């Protein structure tokens, strides 16, 4: 069974700057995970990777963006969700709900504490997600 998942930008950044993106990509394939992306998530990842503070990591922004775009299924979304305390993270919920994801995986405590009002969506840390998926 395919698990549809929205990985928060902080998960991608962590994998990229620690050099574990190839292992993460292989793990996604091995566990039949369909990662989702939207225009907003793609723009956010690009903007974060392009920040001056990441220059010291010698990140190939374009190459990492190509991996992200190739790996993640694109979903066109509308701005509807408004329940996240950090309004800049509402797009994650729009993507998950409209993309029919079962999970949002994040290391952001605000995202993880967002009320879902009986939606069939789980908010998990990466460690929790790995435990569920195996």
Nearest CA to 112 out of 123, 97, 101 is that of 123
Token pair in block for residue 99: 């993309």
Average pLDDT for consecutive 10-residue bins of the chain (134 residues)?
93 97 97 98 97 92 98 97 95 96 97 87 97 91
What's the pTM value of the predicted model, to 2 decimals? Answer: 0.95
Domain limits at 36? Answer: 3-133
Dihedrals φ, ψ of 128, to 5°? -65, -40
Helical axes 21-30 vs 61-71, angle rounded to 10° = 10
Q: What is the pLDDT of residue 118?
A: 64
Q: What is the pLDDT of residue 2?
A: 85
Residue 52 belongs to domain with CATH number = 3.40.50.1010
Domain count, the chain: 1
């Amino acid at each position: 069974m395919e698990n549809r998942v929205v990985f928060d930008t902080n998960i991608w950044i962590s994998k990229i700057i620690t050099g574990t993106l190839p292992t993460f990509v292989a793990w996604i394939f091995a566990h039949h995970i369909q990662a989702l992306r939207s225009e907003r998530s793609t723009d956010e990842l690009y903007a974060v990777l392009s920040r001056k503070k990441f220059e010291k990591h010698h990140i190939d922004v374009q190459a990492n963006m190509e991996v992200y775009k190739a790996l993640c299924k694109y979903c066109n979304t509308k701005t509807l969700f408004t329940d996240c305390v950090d309004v800049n993270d509402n797009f994650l919920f729009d993507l998950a709900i409209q993309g029919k994801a079962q999970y949002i995986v994040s290391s952001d405590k605000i995202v993880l504490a967002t009320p879902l009002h009986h939606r069939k969506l789980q908010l998990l840390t990466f460690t929790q997600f790995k435990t569920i998926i195996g």
